[in-house]
Amino acid sequence: MAPQSCRVCIKLRMASGSIPNGQSLSESSDYPCMPWFGMDIGGTLTKLVYFEPKDITPDEANEEVEVLRNIRRYLTKNSAYGSTGHRDTHLQMDDVEIGGRRGIIHFIRFPTSEMPNFLALAKSKGMATLITTVCATGGGAYKFEENFANEVNMKLAKYDELDSLIRGMLYVEMNNPMECYYWSNPIEYESCQKERYDFSDPYPFLIVNIGSGVSVLAVYGESSYKRISGTSLGGGTFLGLCCLLTGCNTFEEAIELATKGDNTKVDKLVKDIYGGDYDRFGLPGDLVASSFGHMNSSSKRNEVSKEDLARATLVTITNNIGSIARMCALNEKINKVVFVGNFLRVNPISMKLLAYAMEYWSKGTLKALFLEHEVIIIIIRV
Amino acid sequence: MDGKGIPKSIKLPETIKVFRNLKNAKRFAIDIGGSLTKIAYYSTLSHRRATYAKDKEKPLMSDDHTYAISESARLHFVKFETKYIERCLDFVQANLVGTREKMVGKIIKATGGGAYKYSNLIQDKLGLKVEKEDEMGCLIKGCNFLLKNISDEAFVFHRHANPEYEFQTADPNIFPYLLVNIGSGVSILKVESEDSYERIGGTATGGGTFWGLGSLLTKAKGFDELLELAEVGDHRNTDLLVGDIYGGDYKSLGLECDLIASAFGKVCHLSRKGKQMQCSEADVAKSLLFTISNDIGQIASLYAMMHNIRKVYFGGYFLRNHPLSMHTISYSINYWSKGSVQSLFLRHEGYLGAIGAFLKGAEQCGENYSWQENYAGSSALEPQPCTWLDNNVPFAQLEMDRWESPVSFCPLLSDPNNYIPDAVDLNVDHEARKYWLDCFEQSIDKFVDCAIASQVDSETAEERANQFKEQYIKRLHQLRKQPFAYGNLTVRSLLDTIQHCMKEFDFPDPYISVKQCENEAALSQLSERLNYLDSLPPEDRNKELVVSVLAGNMFDWGARAVVEIMENEQFGLSEAKEKIPDRPWLIDNLDMWLERMRGPAHNHAAIFIDNSGVDIILGILPFARELIKRGTKVILCANSEPALNDVTHKELEVILSQAGTICPIINQAVENGTLEAMETAQAGPCLDLSRLNSSLAKAITNVDLIVIEGMGRAVHTNLYAKFTCESLRVAVIKNRWLAEKLGGEMFAVIFKYDSGNTIF
């Protein structure tokens, strides 16, 4: 039978008229039991979505069990949990309706490597007494299934990751007209600006989901999509290489370093080889010809800073993703490319690079699009 | 007879193994890369060339009238690490015959990233004017040249298969293809014809990224150390695999658990936990190699699919035929293209730029020539041990011999795209490989004896013959360990190698005296033989003609079993006929052939001949004469260069004129062109129909009967070839092992007639 805690999903699915997994409709008309959670357990980060109801009636408040109230308070009063958990307050979606309830959607993240601590915390808050099932997606939904069952008596209702990703994205776009944007004039780095993009007629489009690794999906309709490519050079590669090269520990640190660095001290540019533009093949002199191409020289290695190395790593990974995305779009004859995923969080450098790469190499025929809620859209199922 | 300029004593070949024949070097090119430099030069070699006396009154068996000096052309490519460039230029300067002044004003073509940096050095050392050539253009030119001229140049790599190297057969149409050049960065070039190509894309994640990041992350010194480190690392300690995320396969997407989900994705987990880093430098190096190779493979396959191209060749310093990198790139291309794109590697990938630079404007390499790899002078497939200049400078070399004619595919092949000359691939067939390597090693003394006997007047013959033996045995031992070292290992390539090594030690034609003797003896019997055949009723005559060809094919100095008989017994046509087994033969289409001979005459026949003496004169000539009598035009196709006791084109012309004095029919046929001798552009006892002399290929376009005779041409090669016209393959298998392998006994007969689906 369909678990109570999945009602969030079921309700939302009704709106879009598709009912996967053979779950019974009759239950979906009931108000679901709180709390409503969704999880995306990725290779590096776990993303937790929590719906905080704001329309609690006095009756309901009286009935509300203490444990539930404590959990709500714990989650909404804090924005940091332990040393590694964060609530992204800037992302929270106020006054949204889900399953007949109004409230706030909160977005919380923590490293997947902290999963044992998360389970211990959940156990200490008595979560197991409330719900028996949590909707989950991402690889960890499979990997940690047993841990959830054994340690906190929770069942994970697993949903296909890419399915969730696309439905989530369409839901957010529908609820937030300001969701989708692009970078205008990306060729000029300084004057480059965020502009709203009308995504009401989206199909077909490409989603490039940059997490630890990268997935590239072609979406032709609400339930018609395919994974066409991907690469293992993703956010995890950026962070991993930065850790090794600079000794930093977190994504935020790595991005901060990269912001202050200069990749041209690390990379070999076209002009470093040809003295200027390589006209014969239309390659501009400032183009990176070889990422890290200067670093086999020990004297050049002595001249670069941690910041330069972080920047070069970021540029390498970003350009590579841009290049693969562009070719996938061309091969699929699609001209809208939506970049999402954790890698782009607090990372305008990469977004502008991607926007630039799409614009420059396609001579303006491809558009790079971004979403405000790039972090979390996987969670909410439509 | 030209008796001038004949050396009485022949100098020993140079003992220096690198920069050979530098003294006569005529033209240079250089490709200076960040890590490797390649020098190319063209030189002429003086070889004693065996000539054949037209005048049969001249005495036989005297050494000095059978040789004349002739020049042949060779291209040399020498590859070494760029850090030794100064020493190498010094060496070249010291060994050039001409003084520096002689070089002044001459040009050296230069390409590669270092062409600019070292241009003054080259000018100073050699006095040559440096002329720079565009790198990409050179690569393409070099690639086209290799694909067209060198057998087994391209291969598919299967790391876990046996054999790992699957060499591609010659392709009559090499275009279109992609060339992915992995230097510091990566350039992807689309090549559509000899002189049209375009750079369709590239990526900055290339060899420089591997080298640069590797230098930052490990203590490895240099590119090679980094590769060695990668070889022993385990990327699972650094990379996040699908299994690490999902706990197993991700079935709905068909992603297997050992697939890399995020390169270096495990590193941050480790450091954040404050644990000791669990990955070693080797693990990081391996991860890096996988990351870069996978990425290049993916991007190359995306470009190939975008442009609808199936073949992708790889070049540049990153690969260097390194098995792990080739494997990763192949895997990646296959994965991302779902098998629709083929990744191909080149045996001489490192030489592309140098070859191209050399060819720019080199009139010695025009359309009128073709080239063949010299197995004696070329290095094995890397990474194999190479030659050393002094004690510590390693070298690799490629040498190519020039042919004075272009070559093309035999027009009679019904499926030239899939034509494989060799019946057995010794890379695949281990039993056959062991047998033939043993067999050649055991037979080598016969070749040595014969070589010495052919130059009785030379003081150095014995020493040279022993050097030949040493080199050939060394090669056989290398091939035992690395059968793929020179492309597909076949009986043909083993025989060709003997020929190349013999020539290297100045034994251009060890069997010349034997051939002459046998020809004289056979010619003396021709008249009587023809009278006898003419006296037979047609049915018996046709049968007897076939048996004579078979008996004639017994006279093979390449077959040990026969050599023993010939050395110890009186052995003539009638003795040979007795050795031919009773019918039915191993392959016996004689009845079909006799039936065919009752039908209309063929218009035009091409006969690829074998051996000398009894074979050509008492076997093939009467057979050809019969066809001519029926109204068929006949081309006799003989080797251009000597190989064992096989009759060469020049010798065949002499034989035909001598036979003409004996038989008026033959005389008339030669005069009116119904009997013609042509050369095949082959120099071995086997036959590669993908490399026929272009004039011959053109002449046989309308042939409706192709006859291939002998073990080398009709059994070791071409036994399974399919033709568009009628074909006849005739041979006696003079090797017990091979006969038994094919299901027969010693001296088993192959008489294979194929109507080629033609209807009469």
Tens digits of per-residue pLDDT, B219-248?
A: 998 888 999 999 999 999 999 998 888 887
List the single residue in A237, A289, A319 with the smallest CB-CB distance to B263.
A237
**Under an 8 A CB cutoff, do B209 and A290 touch?**
yes
Residue B30 Cα, gap to closest chain A Cα (Å)? 18
CA distance B482 to B649: 35
Residue type for position B377? G
Q: What is the average per-residue pLDDT within B56-63?
A: 44
CB atoms within 10 A of CB B697: 21
pLDDT of residue A132: 64
Please name the residues in contact with B66: beta carbons below 8 A apart, sequence gap of 6 or more: B50, B51, B52, B53, B509, B512, B513
Chain centre distance of CA B467: 23
Q: What is the DSSP letter of A6?
A: G
Is residue A113 within 8 angstroms of chain B, CB to CB?
Answer: yes
Please name the residues in contact with B426: beta carbons below 8 A apart, sequence gap of 6 or more: B432, B433, B436, B483, B488, B489, B490, B491
Residue A337 Cα, gap to closest chain B Cα (Å)? 17
Is B469:B475 a contact under the CB 8 Å cutoff? no
User: Which residues in B lie closer than 8 A to residue A235 (C-beta atoms)?
Assistant: 262
User: Which residues in B lie closer than 8 A to residue A293 (C-beta atoms)?
Assistant: 184-185, 204, 206, 208-209, 212
**Under an 8 A CB cutoff, do A280 and B134 touch?**
yes
What is the 3-state secondary structure of B513-534?
HHHHHHHHHHHHHHHHHHHHHH
**Under an 8 A CB cutoff, do A296 and B265 touch?**
no
Q: What is the pLDDT of residues A181-219, one digit of tens each?
A: 999 888 777 778 888 888 888 899 999 999 899 999 999
One-character DSSP codes across B461-527: HHHHHHHHHHHHHHHHHHHHH-TTBTBS--HHHHHHHHHHHHHHTT-S-TTHHHHHHHHHHHHHHHH
First to last CA, chain B: 50
Closest chain A residue to B307, measured at CA: A331
**Under an 8 A CB cutoff, do A240 and B264 touch?**
yes
pLDDT of residue B469: 95
Is A264:A307 a contact under the CB 8 Å cutoff? no
**Under an 8 A CB cutoff, do B136 and A281 touch?**
yes
**Under an 8 A CB cutoff, do A139 and B284 touch?**
no
User: Which residues in A lie closer than 8 A to residue B216 (C-beta atoms)?
Assistant: 245, 292, 295, 301, 309
Percent of chain B with pLDDT strictly greater than 70: 91
Residue pointed to by tokens 């069990």: A65
CA distance B674 to B633: 5
Q: What is the DSSP letter of A26?
A: G
Is B101:B124 a contact under the CB 8 Å cutoff? no
Is A127:A71 a contact under the CB 8 Å cutoff? yes
**Helix ranges (DSSP H) in A17-90:** 58-63, 66-77
User: Which residues in A lie closer than 8 A to residue B266 (C-beta atoms)?
Assistant: 240
User: Which residues in A lie closer than 8 A to residue B264 (C-beta atoms)?
Assistant: 236-237, 239-241, 244
Instruction: Name beta bridge partners: B549.
Output: none
First to last CA, chain A: 20
Is B737:B559 a contact under the CB 8 Å cutoff? no
Residue A313 Cα, gap to closest chain B Cα (Å)? 10
Going along chain B from its start, the domains and CATH numbers come out as 22-142+351-404 (3.30.420), 154-238+279-346 (3.30.420.40), 512-553+580-754 (3.40.50.10880)
pLDDT of residue B363: 64
CA distance A186 to A352: 6
Distances (CA, A) of A71 to A39, A153, B147: 16, 17, 71
CA distance B368 to B269: 64
Residue pointed to by tokens 């990198």: B325
ipTM: 0.84
Mutate to test the interface with B, among A163, A212, A311 (most CBs of B within 10 A): A212
Q: What is the pLDDT of residues A312-349, one digit of tens each?
A: 999 999 999 999 999 999 999 999 999 998 899 889 99
Is A254:B271 a contact under the CB 8 Å cutoff? no
Distances (CA, A) of B439 to B215, B364, B587, B734, B740: 49, 39, 25, 13, 15
Mutate to test the interface with B, among A296, A298, A326 (most CBs of B within 10 A): A296
List the single residue in A140, A244, A327 with the smallest CB-CB distance to B302.
A327
- The residue ranking higher by pLDDT, B17 or B281, is B281
User: Which residues in B lie closer than 8 A to residue A266 (C-beta atoms)?
Assistant: 212
Please name the residues in contact with B149: beta carbons below 8 A apart, sequence gap of 6 or more: B370, B371, B372, B373, B400
**Under an 8 A CB cutoff, do B268 and A44 touch?**
yes
Residue A166 Cα, gap to closest chain B Cα (Å)? 15
pLDDT of residue B305: 95
Please name the residues in contact with B675: beta carbons below 8 A apart, sequence gap of 6 or more: B624, B628, B633, B634, B636, B656, B666, B669
- Model confidence at A21: pLDDT above 50: no
CB atoms within 10 A of CB B644: 26
CA distance A110 to A148: 16
User: Which residues in B lie closer than 8 A to residue A44 (C-beta atoms)?
Assistant: 240, 262, 265, 268-269
pLDDT of residue A222: 79
Q: What is the pLDDT of residues B518-533, one digit of tens each?
A: 999 999 999 999 999 9
**Under an 8 A CB cutoff, do B306 and A295 touch?**
no
Is A216:A328 a contact under the CB 8 Å cutoff? yes
- Tell me the average pLDDT of chain B: 88
Q: CB contacts < 8 Å between A and B, how many?
A: 201
CA distance B76 to B28: 10
Residue A172 Cα, gap to closest chain B Cα (Å)? 25
CA distance B43 to B27: 8
**Under an 8 A CB cutoff, do A139 and B261 touch?**
yes
- A19-48 residues touching B, CB cutoff 8 A: 42-44
Distances (CA, A) of B37 to B171, B317, B399: 30, 10, 16
- A285-324 residues touching B, CB cutoff 8 A: 287-296, 298, 301, 309, 316, 319-320, 323-324
Q: What is the average per-residue pLDDT within B543-559?
A: 93
**Main-chain dihedrals φ then ψ at residue A324, nearest 5 degrees:** -65, -45
CA distance A211 to A117: 22
The answer, as to whether pTM is greater than 0.90, is no
β B370-373/B394-403 pair status = antiparallel
- Model confidence at A292: pLDDT above 90: yes
Residue type for position B403? W
Is B651:B694 a contact under the CB 8 Å cutoff? no
Q: Could you tell me the two tokens for B404?
A: 């004075």
**Under an 8 A CB cutoff, do B250 and A139 touch?**
yes
Is residue A231 within 8 angstroms of chain B, CB to CB?
Answer: yes
Q: What is the pLDDT of residues B639-654, one digit of tens each?
A: 999 999 999 999 999 9
- Model confidence at A85: pLDDT above 60: yes
**Under an 8 A CB cutoff, do B264 and A236 touch?**
yes
- Going by pLDDT thresholds of 50, 70 and 90, the confidence category of residue B275 is low
- Model confidence at B59: pLDDT above 70: no
CA distance B556 to B656: 20
Please enumerate, as own/partner, the contacts of B415-418 that have beta carbons within 8 Å and a separation of 24 or more: B415/B722, B416/B172, B416/B690, B417/B171, B417/B172, B417/B173, B418/B169
Residue B388 Cα, gap to closest chain A Cα (Å)? 26
Closest by Cα among B444, B432, B433, B436 to B473: B444
β B36-50/B67-81 pair status = antiparallel
- A122-141 residues touching B, CB cutoff 8 A: 138-140
Residue A85 Cα, gap to closest chain B Cα (Å)? 14
User: Which residues in B lie closer than 8 A to residue A265 (C-beta atoms)?
Assistant: none
CA distance B725 to B757: 8
Is residue A85 within 8 angstroms of chain B, CB to CB?
Answer: no
What b/e readout covers B577-587, taking b as 16+ CB neighbours within 10 angstroms?
eebbbeeebbb
**Three-class DSSP category at B606:** strand
Mutate to test the interface with A, among B268, B273, B293, B298 (most CBs of A within 10 A): B268
**Under an 8 A CB cutoff, do B295 and A231 touch?**
yes
**Helix ranges (DSSP H) in B411-460:** 430-454
Span of A114-128, B576-590, B724-738 with lowest mean pLDDT? A114-128
- A168-197 residues touching B, CB cutoff 8 A: none
Is B76:B374 a contact under the CB 8 Å cutoff? no
**Three-class DSSP category at B573:** helix
pLDDT of residue B58: 45
**Under an 8 A CB cutoff, do B204 and A316 touch?**
yes
Closest chain A residue to B201, measured at CA: A281
Q: Could you tell me the two tokens for B200?
A: 């369709």
CA distance B696 to B690: 12
Span of A169-178, A341-350, B324-333, B605-614 with lowest mean pLDDT? A169-178
Is B321:B3 a contact under the CB 8 Å cutoff? no
Residue pointed to by tokens 């992807």: B188
**Under an 8 A CB cutoff, do A162 and B253 touch?**
yes
Chain centre distance of CA A128: 28
Q: Could you tell me the two tokens for B92?
A: 């070249």
> Which residues of A are known to be catalytic?
161
User: Which residues in B lie closer than 8 A to residue A237 (C-beta atoms)?
Assistant: 262-265, 291
**Under an 8 A CB cutoff, do B269 and A111 touch?**
yes
- A238-257 residues touching B, CB cutoff 8 A: 239-241, 243-245, 249-250
Q: What is the pLDDT of residues B469-513, one digit of tens each?
A: 999 999 999 999 989 999 999 999 999 999 999 988 989 889 988
Does A186 sit behind a cis peptide bond, omega within 30 degrees of 0 on the bond before it? no
Closest chain A residue to B257, measured at CA: A139
